[in-house]
Each structure stands twice: as structure tokens, then as C-alpha cells.
Structure 1
Amino acid sequence: MIPMFTSKQLVALLLAVLVVGSLAGVATAQQGPSAGGTVVVEEGETFTGDLEAIGGTVVIAGTVDGNVETTAGTVLVTETGEITGTLEGVAGSATIEGTVGGDVSLSAGAVFVRDTATIDGSLEAAGGNVRLDGAVGGDVRVGAEDLVVGPNTRVGGSLEYNAESTAIDSAAVVDGGVTEVDNVGIDSPPIAGVPVEFGQFEGPTIPNWVFSGYWLLVNLVLGSIIVLVAPEFARRVTGLGTKKAVRSGGAGLLTIVGVPIVLLVLLLTIVGIPLSLAGGVGFLLALWVASIYGALVLGAWLLSLADYNNRWVALFTGLFVLTLLDFVPLGGVLEFAVLIVGLGAFALALRGESGHDGDDDVGAADEGSQEGAPMA
């Protein structure tokens, strides 16, 4: 079952794809758009004009006499850094330690405004973790999972926020008052030229169960195709997952750790960059397929407790149980365990292995049914 992603996690995923495909090496900021593994405006350097920067890391340690629009894994405005205009960015993490003369709009997994930071305009931030501990001349609007407002915070306007957990230090000064709101809309700059709305909560809210039901149907269709196209392979994967669960889990854990390392090594070479990008996309698709096999394994195991054997019922049961786990505490941990077992069984089956006593696997229902069980 593909896990439900929050908007912050989706942005992180987009950034991961972007960074994998980014150019290797170091690029120094220059007139016009800049791209590279690292884009830097050095301390003591002045960049005149608007800077559009894309890279694994974007560092502003000098002066940008204009606006900055960036998409990167990491964005840093150091204590010596100064942006005379606005700062807009999408990033894995964004940190401001220096000065921004205009407004700031950041969407990131983590946003930090340090106690040395000064933002003359307003601040809009959306992220998994947002920490504000500097000076903001205008209003502040935040949408986050975790919001921390530190003791050195000075806000000339109001603070509006929507967060799952909030800690506001009593020493923080907010001239316009602090308000918790339900809707926080924050517009982000385009990613690779594609407009993205991040943290947009305005309008009617779609219940989580609608998305869960949608993914249940999508995964059920994909699972049906998988079982119909390669029934014998599905039987082998199911046998491995149910009868060699420990071995499958170990293989899955090794795969989910090892493959990203290999892709990262490929990324460090010019020739390997296209292979790394293609491999990353392929690995994401493989994880999706493995999650379906994991659901099939889970369903088969649950049905075996009732001495019942039917691959279609097993597929639906496994996917349905994983859907319910979306609403259960620690359900994500159980979903990950099922994914690991499914991924490992999938990898072992690709190597030609199979579970012992394979004829008793769920897939054997292709030929008929057990007593009391319907035809598959």
C-alpha cells in the first residue's frame, strides 16, 4: 500500500527527484539562472539582478542586489548574506541567518529563521518543522507540523499559524498578536517551471478516508494486473513472504538500504547521472509493486489462520488491512514492515528462489479451490 503523503512529504519527494537529476560539480552564481551541485554567492561578492538558482545546495554568503528564487535540497543565507529583494524557495531545508530586505516565502521540510536573521518584509513558511527566532518586520504566516517560536523572535505584524504542535516562548514579541487558524494558503515558486501550490488549505477539506479509498482501488487494480499477468511469479513471492518471512524481511531491508547507496554512487560520476535518475524512478516503481506483493503476503497469512486459500480474497484482505492501518497509531510502522517483507520476497523471487512447499501457496488456487473455498 502506498503511504498517504502530506503536502510537505510530496515536496520532499519532488526535491529528491530534482536533486538526483541535478548536475554534478560546483557552479558559482552568475548572471541569469544558475544550476549545479552547489550554487554559491561568496562572502564579499555582490550579485546584481534577480537570481534564479537550482542545485543540491544554494548558499548566499554575499550580497544579492535583487530577488532570489530557488529550488534546492538545502538553502542557506548565512550571517554575512544579504538579499535586498524577496526570497522565494522550495527546499529540503531552508535556513536564514542573514538579512532579507523584502518578503520571504519558503516551502521546505524544515525552515529555520535564526536569532541573527532580519526579514524586513513578511514571512510565509510551510514545512514539516518551522522554527522562528529572528526579526520579521511584517506579518508571519506558517503552516507546519511542528512550530517553535523562540525567545528572540520579534514580529512587527501579526502571527497566523496552523500546526499540529506549537511552542511559543513567552519572551517572543509579536506586535500584531498571535492567531491559530484553520486555513493557511502559501504559494510556492515553480519547480522546474511547473507551478506548485504548497500548503494550500483554503476551500473544502477532503477527508483522509477518500484518499485512502482511492488508493485502495488503484492498488487493487494494479494487484489484479500483477496476479493475472504473472500468476506463478505471484505464487512464488507469496510463498517466500509467508514461509520465509524472516529471510524475505532481511533481503528487503538490505535492498531498501543498498539500492539508494548505489544510486548515490552513480550520481557522483558524470556518466552515471542518467543511470542514477532512471534507477531512482525504477526503484520507486519497484517499491510500489513490492507494496502490492506485501499486501498479498499479508492477506495470505491472515487467511491461513482460518485455513482458507484464495489469492483474490488474499489480495483484497491485505490491501484493506493496510488501508485501515493509515488510521491506526503506529500503523505506518506496520505498513513499512509489510513493505520490507514484500520487497524482499520480490527480490528473492527475481533470483529464482521460492518458498518451500510452494504448491500450498495462495497462488495454487489458480487450479481450483479448497473445500469450502470459492474458486479463485
Structure 2
Amino acid sequence: MIPMFTTKQLGAVLLAILVVGSLAGVAAAQQGPSAGGTIVVDEGETYTGDLESVGGTVVIAGTVDGNVETTAGTVLVTETGEITGSLEGVAGSVTIEGAVGDDVSLAAGAILVRDTATIDGSLEAAGGDVRLDGTVTGDVTVGAEELTVGPNARVGGALEYDAESATIDSAAVVDGGVTEVDAVTIEGPSIVGVPFEFGQFEGPVIPAWVVSGYWFLANFVLGAIIVLAAPGFARRVTGLGTKKAARSGGVGLLTIVAVPIVLLVILLTIIGIPLSLAGGAGFLLVLWVAGIYGALVLGTWLLSLGDYDNRWAALFVGLFILALLDFVPLGGIVEFVVLLVGLGAFALALRGESGDEGDDMGAPDEGSQEDAPVV
């Protein structure tokens, strides 16, 4: 089964994909001064017209006489920087020290509006860490993990926020009052011409059993492809998962912790951003495949209790049990353990290890041979 994510975790993943994907793909396809590794409007320079930028770093130290729409790793509007229109951005981090003449809409891991900043419009911010210590003439809407409103903050309208933790200095001035809500809806900036939204999503409600049934069928189809494409390797993974379950689970836990850390370290370097994106996408695919191998291990073990061996029955039973666990309290824990065992067995099989009692899952299946080569 595919591991489930919370809304905020999924939002963070999508945000990272949007940012890194734009840097790796769109920047390479565009031409002109608004695309590249680093985009700078120097102090004393005036850029006339709307600036639509895609780059690793965007620095506005001069004047942009128009709107700014940017997708970048880092965005900085310095104290000398001025945007006469609106600012829309999706980035890893955004810092505003200068002036923005209209509305600001941001989505970033970290958003900082310093005490020297002036926003002559509304501010909508979605991010992990949002800090406001400047002047906003309109309303402020924030959805964040952590919100900090400093003593120099001046808000001409209302402040509405949804945050895990919030610190609002007593010296801050909010003319329209402060309201904490369970969820806020923030219209995010458009990415490559496609608008997207943070916060609440109102739409048709799909019954949970329909979703589980869909994933059961999708996983069974992928599982069938895996087994048919590499039957010998499937036997090896299943043998490791059933006969070396503890070792497989330990290796799986180590892998699921270590790989994201390595990808994060790579992501911190501009050169490593495309590699980190590709690695992250590949790891998600590996987790999906590992979850199916885990289901195959679970089904094989359960059927072995009745002295019955059949890979197709094992795949069906394993996936069916995992689908039922979606409706059982603490069922997610069992699913996670199954994923760890499948991931560890998959990793060990790639290293060439096998179960203590050989690679065979049981009696040969139709169309396969005992000496089938390991793929």
C-alpha cells in the first residue's frame, strides 16, 4: 500500500516538487533575463513591466515597475528594492525588506517580512515558518506551522491565521483584530499559468471504501506486473521477508530514515537540486513497489500457516488484508511494519542476499522454473 500523508505533509511535498521541477525544467526551456540560475535587479536599476521569473535565486534590489511572479529557491526584496505592483511567489524561502505596492501572495518553506518592509495591500502566506514584523496596509491571512508577529508589525486590516504555534508580540498593532481559525483558504500564485490553492478544499466526498478498492486494484495490477516481469527476484524478496523478517524490517527502517536525509542534503546545493528531485521521485516509486512486496510477504506467510503456496493467492490476500487495515484502529502501524519488511527485503535482495532456506516460494508456478534467473 502507498503510505498516507497528512494534508500539510502532502502540501510540503507538492511545494518542493513545484519549486524544484520548475527550476530543473522550465528554466531550461525559457529564454531571456527572467530565467536562469540567478536573477538580479540591481540597486538603481529599473525593470519596466511585469517580471515573470524562474531561477535558483531572485534578488530585487532595484525597482520593478509592475508585478512580480516568481518561482525560485530563494527570493529577496532588499531594503532598496521596490515592486510597484503585486508579488506572487513559490519558493524555498522569501525575505521582504523593501516595498511592495500591491497584494502579496506567497507559498514557501520560510517567509520573513522584516521591520523595514511595507506592503500596500493584503498579505497571504502559506509556509512552514512565517514571520511578520513589517507594515501591511490590508488584511493578513496566514497558514503555517509556526507564526511569529514581531513588535514592529503594523496591520491595517484583520489578521487571520491557522498555525501549529503562534507568537504575537503585545506591541504589534492589528487594527482589524486577530482571529485564529481551524483552517484558512489561501489562493496561491499560479505556477506556469496554473493556479493552485492552499488550505481547505471543498469538493465531492469519495467514500473511503471506494478509495481503498481503487488502490487495491491498482496495487494488484502493479503486483502482477512485478511478479510476471521478475519472478525469480520476487521469490528472493519473499523468501527474505518471510525467513528474515526482523533483519528485513531493520534494513527497511534504516532505509526509510537515511534516504530522505541524503536527498535533503543534496537539495541544499543548487547543483544537486535536479538530482534530489529525481531521487525523491524514484524513492516514492520504490516505496510503492516495496509496499506491494510487503503485501506479497504478508500473504505468503498467512497462507503458509495453512500449508498452502500460491503467489497469486498470496498477492491477493496480502493486499486485501492491507486494504481492510485502513478501517481498523491502529491498522496504519501494521501497514507501516509491512512496508518496512518489504522495503528491507527489497534492499537485501538487490544486494544479492536470499532466505536461509533458498529462493523458492514454494511449488513452481505455471510458466516459471526453479532455475529462473534472478532479474
TM-score by length of 2: 0.74
Shift of 1:199: 0.9
- Identity among equivalent positions (%) equals 62
Q: What corresponds to 2:212 in structure 1?
A: 213
Structure 1: runs of 5+ lacking an equivalent: 369-376
Q: What corresponds to 1:317 in structure 2?
A: 321
What letter corresponds to residue 197 of structure 2 in structure 1? Answer: F
Separation of aligned partners in 2, 1:182 and 1:139: 18
Give the secondary-structure state (helix, strand or coil) at the position aligned to 2:190: strand
Cα separation, partners in 2 of 1:333 and 1:317, compared to 1, 3 Å: closer
Aligned length: 353
Give the counterpart of 1:364 among 348, 355, 362: 362
Give the secondary-structure state (helix, strand or coil) at the position aligned to 1:353: coil
Q: What corresponds to 1:4 in structure 2?
A: 5
Separation of aligned partners in 2, 1:167 and 1:207: 37
Q: What corresponds to 2:179 in structure 1?
A: 179
Q: What corresponds to 1:371 in structure 2?
A: none
Give the secondary-structure state (helix, strand or coil) at the position aligned to 1:8: helix
Question: Over aligned residues, Cα RMSD in angstroms?
Answer: 4.3
User: After superposition, what is the alpha-carbon deviation per residue over 1:136-185, rounded to whole angstroms, capped at 9, x for unaligned?
Assistant: 11111122333332332210111122334433332221101122345533
Cα separation, partners in 2 of 1:163 and 1:251, compared to 1, 3 Å: closer
Give the secondary-structure state (helix, strand or coil) at the position aligned to 1:59: strand
Q: What corresponds to 1:62 in structure 2?
A: 62
User: After superposition, what is the alpha-carbon deviation per residue over 1:61-104, rounded to whole angstroms, capped at 9, x for unaligned?
Assistant: 22222211001122222233221211001122222222212110
Cα separation, partners in 2 of 1:302 and 1:196, compared to 1, 3 Å: farther
Shift of 1:342: 3.6
Give the secondary-structure state (helix, strand or coil) at the position aligned to 1:129: strand
1:65-144 pair list within 5 angstroms:
65-144=65-144
Cα separation, partners in 2 of 1:263 and 1:211, compared to 1, 3 Å: farther
User: After superposition, what is the alpha-carbon deviation per residue over 1:108-145, rounded to whole angstroms, capped at 9, x for unaligned?
Assistant: 23322222322111101122332222211111112233
Separation of aligned partners in 2, 1:200 and 1:168: 22
Q: Is 1:150 matched with 2:150?
A: yes
1:1-376 pair list within 5 angstroms:
1-4=2-5, 6=7, 8-9=11-12, 10-21=14-25, 34-182=34-182, 184-193=184-193, 195-201=194-200, 203=202, 206=205, 213=212, 216-217=215-216, 218-227=218-227, 229-242=229-242, 243=244, 244-245=247-248, 248-249=251-252, 252=255, 256=259, 260=263, 268=271, 281-297=281-297, 310-318=314-322, 321=325, 323=326, 335=336, 342-358=342-358, 363-364=361-362
User: After superposition, what is the alpha-carbon deviation per residue over 1:249-299, rounded to whole angstroms, capped at 9, x for unaligned?
Assistant: 387369826984998799849xx97x8876664444334323433454566
Separation of aligned partners in 2, 1:62 and 1:333: 56
Give the secondary-structure state (helix, strand or coil) at the position aligned to 2:184: coil
Shift of 1:318: 4.4
Shift of 1:355: 2.2
Cα separation, partners in 2 of 1:18 and 1:214, compared to 1, 3 Å: farther
Separation of aligned partners in 1, 2:321 and 2:330: 17
Structure 2: runs of 5+ lacking an equivalent: 367-375
